[in-house]
Structure 1
Amino acid sequence: MSAYAVGFARPDRRSWAQPVDQPMSWHAVEAHRPVDELDGEVELAVCGAIVQVWGNQDWERVSAGRSSCAECVRRTAPALRHAG
């Protein structure tokens, strides 16, 4: 299973791949080290957006919400299904 941190799309950190008016602010970030070490870091989300890691959020919980990036949810779905 892959571990994912939660990234927040800051307006000043948007990638060209993500439209400026995209309302989905929460993104999945592959965590190659402990999430608390990534807290506050600027990283690339699984969908290609540039985000700032929000270490006190759990991707499994955030991905169920309406403000999560649909592409991140789709790409992480197989890992989340096997997480239990």
Structure 2
Amino acid sequence: MSTYAVGFARPDRRSWAQPVDQPMSWHAVEAHRPADELDGEVELAVCGAIVQVWGAQRWDRMSAGRSTCAECRQRTTPALRQVG
């Protein structure tokens, strides 16, 4: 099972693949080291958005919220990954 940090899509760090007016600002970032070590780093989210890691948040808690990226939620849900 992969571990994910939480990334925030800042307006100045948006990916060209993501619409500028995208309301879903929170994204999953695959963490290859502890999330607190990534805190403040600019990383690539699971969906391809460029985000800044917010180390104080955990993706497993945030991922149920309405302000999270639907693609990140889909790609980080184990049951959905096995089917797709």
Q: How does 1:21-40 map to 2 (within 5 A)?
A: 21-40=21-40
Q: Which runs of 5+ in 2 are unaligned?
A: 80-84
Task: Kindly provide the CA deviation profile for residues 20-78 of structure 1, in whole angstroms up to 9, marking residues without a partner as x.
Answer: 00000000000011111100000000000000000000101100000000000000001
Q: Which runs of 5+ in 1 are unaligned?
A: 80-84
What is the aligned partner in structure 1 of residue 63 from structure 2?
Answer: 63
- Larger proportion of strand: 2
Q: Secondary structure at the match of 1:7?
A: strand
Give the TM-score, by structure 1 length. Answer: 0.92
Structural RMSD (CA): 0.9
Over the matched positions of the two proteins, sequence identity in percent amounts to 87
Residues in 2 aligned to 1:72 and 1:42: alpha-carbon distance in whole angstroms: 17
